[in-house]
Structure 1
């Protein structure tokens, strides 16, 4: 985006003549990032051998609905934050919605479980590396999103960086979910979210430097 175009757009007010996202280029870069993440997952972790069995359980589809909702929210977040002058007032509620829903499901699950079994629902078997694997898988997607955002001249650089990290983490969570054996809502609602927050925090830190134009 040229500086003169940006000045004219901002002078026109929010959501007026906003520059359209280059959808073809955006899709190409993000696809490369996602494919790289999938390749890393497949070659180092692999698909769950009992995926067909897991797919028969309602908890699996709750998990998939959660990660798909976050991935979609990440796309919307990047689209809004990457373009100057676009309203973002609804983003906090949009991001919070799937998180609150999974926490409600998690709370119900814990309440209906015997006290001596609740810790297992929260910790699972992979808590000590789950979040870090999500963060690692997010790296190629993160780089692709930042590349696109640099070309769109975002004005709130720290927030835009955080949005890029959130979107990358959410997409990586979707990729990782095809390996992860955990399907219980208390685990998903905490450790998956923590994995997304790692690149989100990194994005907030590096956004002002990486996205400066």
Structure 2
């Protein structure tokens, strides 16, 4: 490399770069708007949407939003080698433990018969298809934003981005879904989110290399 070219390359490295957080803040709202629009146009809102949002059923909309909010700082930390995400996992772990606790309580009351009955419905298959489908723009936006970082563990970073995308998609899907039982929502939504996390884990090493 010639001296002039080396100087130009070093100068380019010093130019201000848009931060990962800024790119995520730009991309995710746009992708979420697309997912919400898709719910309205292709799925439709549940007929009692306002009553549902004013009842205990709102937990299945708010809960995934909380998970996504707790996962974002972890993704950002993973995109910066100098940041340690360890403490950020505590809040996410506590939220997941709370959800599992609610599920265990419901399962203790209704048992396997209640779980099988809750999941033995076409809505389960619709959920397993819908959450990953609605997560596509969110996952693409998240991975694009993270690609400007320097993830040392791209697979894990992709999985966390998948968690953010899947959780936001689950929240959007809940505006259509009229199944409010804990024994349906927790396993069905969790399976949908997990599939998006898996996609993120697979795509991460391919798209987040640096």
Does the CA contact (< 8 Å) of 2:19 and 2:148 recur in 1? no
TM-score (norm 1): 0.81
Q: Does 1:136 align with 2:133?
A: yes
Does the CA contact (< 8 Å) of 1:103 and 1:185 recur in 2? no
Correspondence for 1:191: 188
Change (3 A) 1:208 1:50: same
Change (3 A) 1:113 1:36: same
Shift of 1:195: 0.7
* Equivalent position to 1:182, from 176, 179, 182: 179
- Alignment size in residue pairs: 196
TM-score (norm 2): 0.82
What is the RMSD computed on CA atoms of the aligned residues?
A: 2.5
Matched residue SS, 2:185: helix
Matched residue SS, 2:47: coil
Matched residue SS, 2:152: coil
Correspondence for 1:30: 28
Does the CA contact (< 8 Å) of 2:115 and 2:184 recur in 1? no
Q: Does 1:170 align with 2:167?
A: yes
Shift of 1:112: 3.0
Counterparts of 2:43 and 2:202 in 1: how far apart (Å)?
A: 29
Mean alpha-carbon deviation: is it higher for 108-117 or for 130-139? 108-117
Counterparts of 2:162 and 2:141 in 1: how far apart (Å)?
A: 11
Q: Does 1:41 align with 2:39?
A: yes
Q: Does 1:83 align with 2:80?
A: yes
Larger radius of gyration: 2
Counterparts of 1:137-152 in structure 2, within 5 Å, are 137-152=134-149
Does the CA contact (< 8 Å) of 1:74 and 1:168 recur in 2? no
Structure 2 unmatched runs, 5+: 1-8, 11-16
